[in-house]
Structure 1
């Protein structure tokens, strides 16, 4: 091969390697994903049977946090992070209900309130799950949850809290906080136990 041709080929090879961009590694091509926000979870409690005063104090604290967490979502229903938290904490409310129903000497009003809650918690959790899965629209699901909670669940929670606190000598407890829609709602007996719960526990406005 002629010397001039060899020199030409070497020059062309060098020029090509200098102008060819380096290959990207799989790491540089990988899309950077933002990790999902971690959803808080309720404390895991291990109450005695029957629950002690300390157990009921802890249960009240857990349940109160759940009420505020669900309220936060219902007051801001387009917030998907709050929806995820509300769903998790709504599922802890039946756990605390089971604890309080085991209180020794629980009054009749407390037992009746607990039975009302047993009949209504399932639909609240189901509606929140349905928003997450897309099975129900946000408006339809939150309207159902608001009506159920404002007119039935929150008044019954207040009755049970006070009954459990009295029986275990915790003393007086505050009523559960209400979501914003409760102040704009006229309650009827359309929800299981709603009329009885409100009548026994006072008006919704009085519970603020």
Structure 2
């Protein structure tokens, strides 16, 4: 009888321990998932068609945040957390581009800038994804992204922002997007798609730094 009681207590203790362990594991899993749930994501916008002045202003704000988020990774390319954020925000840039391309009476320079961006955004996102997947070295991928953004994409973004702001009669001055650190060390050439035209329209790379 005494042995039976001992065995019952052992089984009960084992069951309780297993249940406690399960609860702890579940709690730990939820705690680990919290940072991902709270990770920053681009603000979801619902612009009118055609976009209003307020829509363009909101789009520029979103886009500026995306530029800075990608910059943060490119300035610290070994940081995987920043890489994942950069991928998320880089994918929002074509969304804002689509909004601005619908602006009524967008100037020719604005339309040309938009076309340049359409041709260059896919490779930037692809290179960032390649780093994340390990199919491309960090050095090779970031070098390609830096050259593309510094010499082509960022000047074209600034051109489009200004054109969209002018077309919608936005008040105030629209600044140029901030460049990543590597831009100050680059010499851009016309070999980049749209690079010469974009830089010529916006001044030198150094002049675009903020």
Q: Quick check: TM above 0.5?
A: yes
Aligned to 1:45: 45
Shift of 1:36: 6.1
- Could you tell me the TM-score, scaled by structure 1's length? 0.87
1:34-73 Cα distance to aligned partner (Å, 9 max, x none)? 3362221111111111111011011011001101111011
- Could you tell me the TM-score, scaled by structure 2's length? 0.86
Change (3 A) 1:126 1:90: same
Rounded to whole Å, the distance in 2 between the matches of 1:102 and 1:152 is 21
1:130-170 Cα distance to aligned partner (Å, 9 max, x none)? 11111111111111110100000000000000000001011
Residue 187 (structure 1) aligned with residue 188 (structure 2): yes
Structure 1, 80-89 or 20-29: larger mean CA deviation: 20-29
Rounded to whole Å, the distance in 2 between the matches of 1:136 and 1:152 is 22
Change (3 A) 1:185 1:49: same
Shift of 1:26: 5.1
Give the unaligned 5+ runs of structure 2: none
Shift of 1:200: 1.4
Aligned to 1:4: none
Matches within 5 A, 1:62-141: 62-141=62-141
Residue 25 (structure 1) aligned with residue 18 (structure 2): yes
Aligned to 1:175: 176
The CA RMSD over aligned residues, in Å, is: 2.2
Aligned length in residues: 198
Contact 1:37 1:81 in 2 (8 A): no
| SS of equivalent to 2:177 | coil
Shift of 1:25: 1.3
Structure 1, 35-44 or 119-128: larger mean CA deviation: 35-44
| SS of equivalent to 2:35 | coil
Larger Rg: 1
Between Structure 1 and Structure 2, the one with more helix by share is: 2
